Chains A and B, each alone.
Chain A
């Protein structure tokens, strides 16, 4: 049986950073990005984003959220980046964010993502579905946030092999 769920990349930020770029993750069927992070932004609702292949304005996302008082749902279309979590801005507690990217190398369909955004100290927990509106295989991705991603944040990428 082929080995799967393999670690591809991991970094712990030694300083605040505006972005983290990942490449050379070919050879798998699906990808899982696990992020434990916060931002330096002034807003507790600061979001985390992913950008594929350096492309902009080809992303949409829909989410359901709970802010501690109310539940709701909304969406963004033709976004510059694909939002997948609410990172918040706590300096001493980093939330847990898990992004699943399905069939990222196929060249016949747009790429879809699912993510789970669980931060007690941001302004919401959210579950996202995302769309990268392009049939190109994903060969690079860049993690961004509102503000900088805080020092100490941990970003890990895993590969899933379907066969």
Chain B
């Protein structure tokens, strides 16, 4: 029986960086059915948190639908978006407790299928202070193209800080 959940690619930043990309994913379409991205990150935004967002295949069309459930320690709320990026939760930012990075997972099933691509993300932006964020998100990319590239960005054109790490795993369902 095949063993799955294998590391495909990883990067740990040695300097601040405005985006992180995983490329050449088409080469894995016969090896894996699903993808998982594990994130430990912090951004340079002048706040204690920042959303992160993604694009598939560099596609900037208004084709990404999001439904979010968020909590910040004081309350919970929900909203939606239909925009040019897929949002995928919160990580810590520059005014959060020093050396504290947010964590998250993005699960992308059937990344090379010919249907619209859905994903699930679950993230936290920890902060040893009054406010931190937890977020569960459902995302949909309204394209039938196989996913060959995934790029991750801080939401407000900031940088991921040095030490942020991004791991990509492949899941094979047979």
- Choose from B1, B67, B76, B172 the contact partner of A120 (Cβ within 8 Å): B67
Interface status of A47 (Cβ within 8 A of chain B): no
Are B78 and A93 in contact (CB-based, < 8 A)? no
Q: CA–CA, A81 to B171, complex, Å?
A: 28
Are A125 and B3 in contact (CB-based, < 8 A)? no
Are A7 and B76 in contact (CB-based, < 8 A)? no
Q: CA–CA, A25 to B100, complex, Å?
A: 40
Q: Is the interface of A mostly helix, strand, loop or mixed?
A: strand
Distance (whole angstroms) from the CB of A97 to the closest CB of chain B: 8
**What range describes how many residues of B lie at the interface?**
35 or more
Q: Which residues of chain A are near B145, meaning CB under 8 Å?
A: none
Interface status of B132 (Cβ within 8 A of chain A): no
Interface status of B16 (Cβ within 8 A of chain A): no
Interface status of A143 (Cβ within 8 A of chain B): no
Produce 1/0 per residue, A27-56, CB < 8 A to B: 000000010100000000000000000000
Are B1 and A93 in contact (CB-based, < 8 A)? no
Residue count of chain A within 8 Å CB distance of chain B:
39
Q: Which residues of chain A are near B44, meaning CB under 8 Å?
A: none
Are A125 and B136 in contact (CB-based, < 8 A)? yes
Interface status of B109 (Cβ within 8 A of chain A): yes
- Choose from A6, A64, A118, A120 the contact partner of B2 (Cβ within 8 Å): A6
Are A71 and B76 in contact (CB-based, < 8 A)? yes
Q: What 8 A-B pairs come out closest when comparing CB atoms? A: A66-B78, A66-B69, A118-B120, A118-B138, A71-B76, A5-B5, A10-B173, A156-B173
* Chain B interface residues toward A at CB < 8 A: 1-5, 33-34, 65-71, 75-80, 107-110, 113, 115-116, 118-122, 136-140, 142, 171-174
* Chain A interface residues toward B at CB < 8 A: 3-8, 10, 34, 36, 64-71, 92-98, 116-122, 124-127, 152, 154, 156, 158
